[in-house]
Amino acid sequence: MTDVDQTFGVYVHWPFCAQKCPYCDFNSHVRFGGWDEARFLAAYKREIDWVAERIGPRTVTSIFFGGGTPSLMQAHTVASIIEHIAKRWGVAPDAEITLEANPGSVEAGRFRGFREAGVNRVSIGVQSLRDQELRKLGRIHSVAEAKAALEIARGTFERFSFDLIYARPGQTAEAWRAELAEALDLAGDHLSLYQLTIEPDTPYAALHAAGKLIIPDDHDASALYEITEEMTGERGLAAYEVSNYARPGSESRHNLLYWRYGEYAGVGPGAHGRILIGNTRTATVAERNPEAWAARVEEAGHGFTEMTTLAREEQADEMLLMGLRLSEGIDLGRLAVLGGARPSRPVITELEDLGLLQSAVDRAPDTSGKSGNSGNWRRNELDEIVACAGPGLRPETGAPGPDRIRVTPQGRLVLNAVVAKLSKSFQSPERVDNLRSAG
């Protein structure tokens, strides 16, 4: 697996949760009366069939069961979906198959069932290692249950990861250090550490607006982020993405595919996809309500409410905003081919001077999983780049900039602003070439 264009992922959204968490704005639904799992299984299969017919043959390199709470699924449902995907497309022997699990819904038996179904990686929503904090976050599990779940996961799957939410109301640097240290002791090769963000239309948003929920300000939150990078780094878990930390080679391959702007089908209620129909990159969005989605699938073969062809500029923006989340950064050559755009050199230089961005002459990064950090990153070497460029590498006129850019750890904190600035500076490579030949 060397090229993101050779990868293909399938995201399966399982929409049900035992309870809604007050900070969560994901597409999750509580059904006290339960759900008709057979009906949903049939719908997933039909939607997979429909997408497969559209896009044609693929080899699936990753599958991700997200939610909602996918660990509420019966193991045989998971198995049937994986089998169906394999039947439609074929699954690579080394494919990563991840399932998100909540500690409260974990039993050793269920995990074994998932393992037997083909799942080889679990991601557990631990969220906190403090019982009081878990209650505040509206979680129904305890720290003890979380730890037990991690033990079962460790014993059942080759790979596992867990999530924590930090920068919580009132959380001090010392408190986070202590909690994170414990987490690192429990961790395998991968951790997702998210700062609490207030999402619109959640109970937390209302509390926050009413002044009843005060989260750390930007200064304190940044300090917590830096502590996180420092402590994970010390334990060999590199910050390969804004909120994801892994031992080199243990990155989530499915999530890498999103960030590298690869192709993925999204099936299930509220799922998003980026699929290639012919050579056209298409954004799919499915109906969010589970039963309405199932009804649509039964009616039309798919539950998509939107299928939008993405313009080149849109692809450029998407590749940029996803790719810069990764410490490996993005390949500007691919950006030019895919999106017909290139950030302007003065803006790159300006961001480099601010210590927020790095550029490099680099061949395609090693995406075999060795953290992607192996590039020859230097600052302010644009002229050298042109000077040392081999004829096969770029046109005679010289490339209008470096091959790759990536944000620095400092830049990652202000990624939205960096992305906006780069995107605003986009020029079409054709135009750059014209300027060059005119000059």
Partner 1 sequence: MTAISHIRNFSIIAHIDHGKSTLSDRLIQLCGNVSNREMKEQILDSMDIERERGITIKAQTVRLDYRAKNGELYQLNLMDTPGHVDFAYEVSRSLAACEGAILVVDASQGVEAQTLANVYQALDNNLEILPVLNKIDLPAADEDRVKQQIEDVIGIDASGAIGVSAKSGLNVEAVLEAVVERLPPPKGDPKKPLKAMLIDSWYDAYLGVIVLARVIDGTLKKGQRVKLMATDGSYQVERVGIFRPKQEMLEQLGPGEVGFFTAAIKEVADTRVGDTITDEKNPTAEALPGFKPAQPVVFCGLFPVDAADFEDLREAMGRLRLNDASFSFETESSAALGFGFRCGFLGLLHLEIITERLEREFNLDLITTAPSVIYHLHMNDGSIIEMHNPADMPEISKIDHIEEPWIEATILVPDDYLGAVLKLCQDRRGRQKQLTYAGSRAMVVYELPLNEVVFDFYDRLKSVSRGYASFDYHIKNYEEGDLVKLSILVNSEPVDALSIIVHRARAESRGRSMCEKLKELIPPHLFQIPIQAAIGAKVIARETIKALRKDVLAKCYGGDISRKRKLLDKQKAGKKKMREFGKVEIPQEAFINALKMDDN
Binding site for partner 1 (CB under 8 A): 11, 13, 25-27, 64, 66, 192, 194-195, 197, 199, 218-219, 221-222, 225, 242-243, 258, 264, 266, 270-274, 283, 285, 314, 317-318, 321-322, 325, 350-351, 354, 356, 413-421, 423-424
| Alpha carbons 290 and 332: distance in angstroms, whole number | 39
| Alpha carbons 308 and 365: distance in angstroms, whole number | 30
| Alpha carbons 406 and 359: distance in angstroms, whole number | 6
Rank residues 182 and 314 by Cβ distance to partner 1 and give the closer one. Answer: 314
Q: Chain-centre distance of CA 152, in angstroms?
A: 25
What would the two tokens of residue 99 be?
A: 């399932």
Residue where the block lists tokens 């399982």: 14
| Alpha carbons 121 and 160: distance in angstroms, whole number | 5
DSSP string covering 412-432, please?
HHTHHHHHHHHHHT-B-HHHH
Rank residues 67 and 429 by Cβ distance to partner 1 and give the closer one. Answer: 67
Rank residues 142 and 289 by Cβ distance to partner 1 and give the closer one. Answer: 289
Q: Chain-centre distance of CA 119, in angstroms?
A: 18
Rank residues 291 and 314 by Cβ distance to partner 1 and give the closer one. Answer: 314
Rank residues 70 and 113 by Cβ distance to partner 1 and give the closer one. Answer: 70
Minimum CB separation from partner 1 for residue 86, in Å? 21
Minimum CB separation from partner 1 for residue 359, in Å? 16
Listed in sequence order, the residues at least 6 apart from 438 whose beta carbon sits closer than 8 Å to its beta carbon are: none
Rank residues 321 and 399 by Cβ distance to partner 1 and give the closer one. Answer: 321
Cis peptide before 170 (omega within 30 of 0): no
Q: What Å distances lie between residue 148 and 103, 134, 141, 152, 421, CA to CA?
A: 8, 16, 11, 6, 46
Minimum CB separation from partner 1 for residue 144, in Å? 25
Rank residues 113 and 269 by Cβ distance to partner 1 and give the closer one. Answer: 269
CA atoms within 13 A on the CB side of 293: 28
